[in-house]
Structure 1
Amino acid sequence: MKDAELFVWSPVFYTEGLGAEVAALGEVRHLVAPNSLHHLFLDAWRQAFPEARLYAAPGLRPRRPDLIFDADLGDEPPPEWAQDIDQVLVQGNRITTEVVFFHRRSRTVIFTDLIQHFRPGWFTGWRALVARLDLMVANEPSAPRKFRVAFIDRRAARAAIRRILAWPFEKVLMAHGAPVEHDGRALIARAFHWLRP
C-alpha cells in the first residue's frame, strides 16, 4: 500500500522467518481476517506486530472472544486503505460472510473460500472423493458445492458478484489455489454462473 504500509490478508501460521520476510517489505499496519473461518493465526501475528490494527469479518468476534479487534469489516473499505484497496461483503451464506478485496494498483481481486482450486493429487483417500464432488479439484477455480448450497440469499450474493465484476481486475488470488495471472474477470464470471436467476 502507500508509504510501504502492509495489509496482511488471512495470516497463515506464523514463524519468525516469515515475520522477518514480511517486515522487510514494509510496516505491517493491518491484519485482516477476511471471513469467520480464517482466523487461527491472528493472535501470533498480533503479538509479532502489536502496532498493527486487527480487523474482523462479520461473525468472527463471537468465535474469537480472546482477541481484541480494532474494527469490523463492512461493505465499504475503511479510510485507512480506501485509496489502495476496495472491498465488498458477499452475504447470504450460512457458512460464512466473506469479504472480497480488490487491490487497485495490481488489478487483483482477492477471494478466500468462495473460490478454490486444488491440484489433482492434493487430497487422498476419501478426502479426494469429497474434494472432487465438492468441485475443489475441478478443471479451473470454482465455487465449492458446499458454499453454493449454503447461499440462502442469492439476491444478495448476485449483487456482490456484480460489484466484483465491475472492478477493473485482471488477476485473481485465492487462499486455496494458485494465482490466476490473466483473464480473471472471465474466470470469476464462469465460477459464479450458477448464481444467475
Structure 2
Amino acid sequence: MDWNTLIEWEKDRLWYLDMPYKRYGMCHVHRMIVIRISKDSLIIHNPAELTTRLQTELSALGTIKAVVSPSVSYHQTLSEWWLAYSQAQFYATPSLINLRSDLNFDGALSAQSPDLWKGELLQTAILGSNKPRKFIFCDPQSHTLLLSDNLMAAQPHLPTGQKLLTWMHGIHQDLRYPYSDKRHITQMARIRTSVQEIMTWPFDRLLSSNGLIVPQNGKEAFYQAFWWAF
C-alpha cells in the first residue's frame, strides 16, 4: 500500500491518505479523505495522524474549513488537529462528542448538512441499531460514497492483519455488514429506510475509513452488503 501519501481520487476535488495503525495487535488501515469544496475550502473526513508533511500537502490544496469525525472508532488524533486548526469547524457523531468531552465541537452530525457544505455533500446514518451511529457521506461531484467503518471486506490491497480479522468474521472479498453489528439491530424497517435513501444518491464509486475501495459499480456493491435487510 502507499502509506502516508495523499492520492488524488478525483481531479481537483477529492484525495485520500492511508495510514497504518494497530488493532488487536494487527495492522489495519486508517483512511483520511480530503474534499475540496468551493473557493479552495477543504473538508477533512476522518482525520489521521497530523504530520509535518501532511500539513504541507494540505496547505498546497487549500484552507481547512472543517474536520469531520464520522465514527467513534477513529478519534485518537483529534487533539492535534484541534490545536493546529482551531479556526476550523469540528463536527463528530453524538457518541464521539460525549466521549471526547475534552474538545469543543461546533456541532453533532445529523441527517442535515451544516451550512458549510450544504449543497456539496449528502449525509446520513444507518439507523435501526443500538450501537453508536456511523455517518455516511456522498460527494455527487466525484460520484463517491464515503463510508466510515460500516462494512468489511478482505480486499487484496489491505494489510494481512486486517484481512485475517475480516476472514474471522466469515467475510471475504465482497463488502459485507458484519454479524457482530447485525446482533445489535433493533428495528429492521429503519435499516431498510436508511439503505433505500442512500441508494437514491448519485454515486458509483466507494471509499471507506477502514481502507475499502470500489472504483466502479459501487452502488451494486453497497446494496449487496445489505440485501439481507430486504
Separation in structure 2 between the aligned mates of residue 7 and residue 116 of structure 1, nearest angstrom: 25
Question: Are 2:157 and 1:122 aligned?
Answer: no
Q: Tell me if the contact between 1:135 and 1:143 (Cα under 8 Å) persists in the aligned partners.
A: no
Q: Aligned partner of 1:2: which letter?
A: S
Q: CA RMSD in A?
A: 1.8
Question: Quick one: structure 1 residues 58 and 154, their matched pair in 2 at CA, closer, same or farther if it must change by over 3 Å?
Answer: farther
Separation in structure 2 between the aligned mates of residue 141 and residue 20 of structure 1, nearest angstrom: 34
Q: Deviations over 1:50-73 (max 9, x none)?
A: 111000212112211101001111
Separation in structure 2 between the aligned mates of residue 157 and residue 22 of structure 1, nearest angstrom: 36
Question: Quick one: structure 1 residues 140 and 177, their matched pair in 2 at CA, closer, same or farther if it must change by over 3 Å?
Answer: farther
Q: Tell me if the contact between 2:175 and 2:224 (Cα under 8 Å) persists in the aligned partners.
A: no
From 140, 143, 168, the equivalent of 2:177 is 143
Percent identity of equivalent pairs? 24
Pairs aligned (count): 192
Q: Which runs of structure 2 are paired with 1:24-103 in the superposition (5 Å)?
A: 24-103=60-139
Question: Are 2:48 and 1:4 aligned?
Answer: no
* TM superposition shift of 1:82: 1.2
Separation in structure 1 between the aligned mates of residue 181 and residue 219 of structure 2, nearest angstrom: 20
* TM superposition shift of 1:14: 1.6
* TM superposition shift of 1:98: 1.1
Q: Deviations over 1:23-48 (max 9, x none)?
A: 21111101001022222211111212
Report what 1:132 is aligned to: 167
TM-score (norm 2): 0.78
Of Structure 1 and Structure 2, which has the larger fraction of its residues in strand?
A: 2
Separation in structure 1 between the aligned mates of residue 200 and residue 139 of structure 2, nearest angstrom: 13
Separation in structure 1 between the aligned mates of residue 112 and residue 215 of structure 2, nearest angstrom: 25
Q: Aligned partner of 2:122: which letter?
A: D
Question: Are 2:59 and 1:23 aligned?
Answer: yes
Separation in structure 2 between the aligned mates of residue 19 and residue 146 of structure 1, nearest angstrom: 37
* TM superposition shift of 1:135: 4.2
Between 1:114-123 and 1:156-165, the stretch displaced more is 114-123
Separation in structure 2 between the aligned mates of residue 51 and residue 23 of structure 1, nearest angstrom: 14
Q: Aligned partner of 1:123: which letter?
A: G
Report what 2:199 is aligned to: 165
Q: Tell me if the contact between 2:93 and 2:134 (Cα under 8 Å) persists in the aligned partners.
A: yes
Q: Deviations over 1:121-142 (max 9, x none)?
A: 6128xx92x4313245x12222
Q: Tell me if the contact between 2:47 and 2:67 (Cα under 8 Å) persists in the aligned partners.
A: yes
Separation in structure 2 between the aligned mates of residue 110 and residue 135 of structure 1, nearest angstrom: 24
Specify every segment of 5 or more residues in structure 1 that has no aligned partner in the other structure, as ranges.
Answer: none
* TM superposition shift of 1:118: 3.6
TM-score (norm 1): 0.90
Question: Quick one: structure 1 residues 117 and 21, their matched pair in 2 at CA, closer, same or farther if it must change by over 3 Å?
Answer: farther
Separation in structure 2 between the aligned mates of residue 146 and residue 113 of structure 1, nearest angstrom: 13
Question: Quick one: structure 1 residues 135 and 69, their matched pair in 2 at CA, closer, same or farther if it must change by over 3 Å?
Answer: farther
Separation in structure 1 between the aligned mates of residue 128 and residue 99 of structure 2, nearest angstrom: 19
